[in-house]
Amino acid sequence: MEYTLKLTRWDKDQTLLSEIRRRVFIEEQQVPEELEWDDDDKTCIHVLVSDNNIPIATGRIKMDGHIGRMAVLKNYRNKGVGSAVLDALINFSKTLKMKSVYLHAQTSAIPFYEKHNFKISSEEFMDAGIPHKTMIKLFHTNVSV
């Protein structure tokens, strides 16, 4: 399968980005709508993955390195799409010379993030009625002595 992945901004692709998040978080996971939308969308860089111009996955990164709102439509899960979104966000963070990125992982998704070398850095907490843990990925920088 051939997917299209691009970095974008909320003001350019809000309709497509919000469609994916609505289906995954609000409809499938029953996250209350008022908890899903925030002002951070306007300042984040977003990833949009499409399959023949149909939006299938998204994620975002804040300028402090906080990755979030990772969402892949059900029919596209376990096919590498989520990894592509995460890799694109990590690669973008490196272009900004960030030393690390972090996220709040749903506990069911922890093994996915561990495969990408994220480490648990908090106790479990509830967000939108779903258990989460904070995870961090540190980037190794070459240090010359």
Q: pLDDT grade, residue 2 (50/70/90)? A: confident
Contact call for residues 57 and 81 (beta carbons, < 8 A): yes
Domain extent, residue 18, equals: 4-138
pLDDT tens, position by position, 11-70: 999 999 999 999 999 999 999 999 999 999 999 999 999 999 999 999 999 999 999 999
Give this prediction's pTM.
0.93
Position 144 in a domain: no
What is the pLDDT of the chain when averaged over all its residues?
Answer: 94
**The predicted structure's pLDDT at residue 39:** 95
Structural domain count of the chain:
1
CATH number of the domain bearing residue 127: 3.40.630.30
Average pLDDT over residues 127-135: 94
Q: Enumerate residues 6+ apart whose C-beta is below 8 A from 13.
A: 46, 48
Position 55 in a domain: yes
Position 53 in a domain: yes
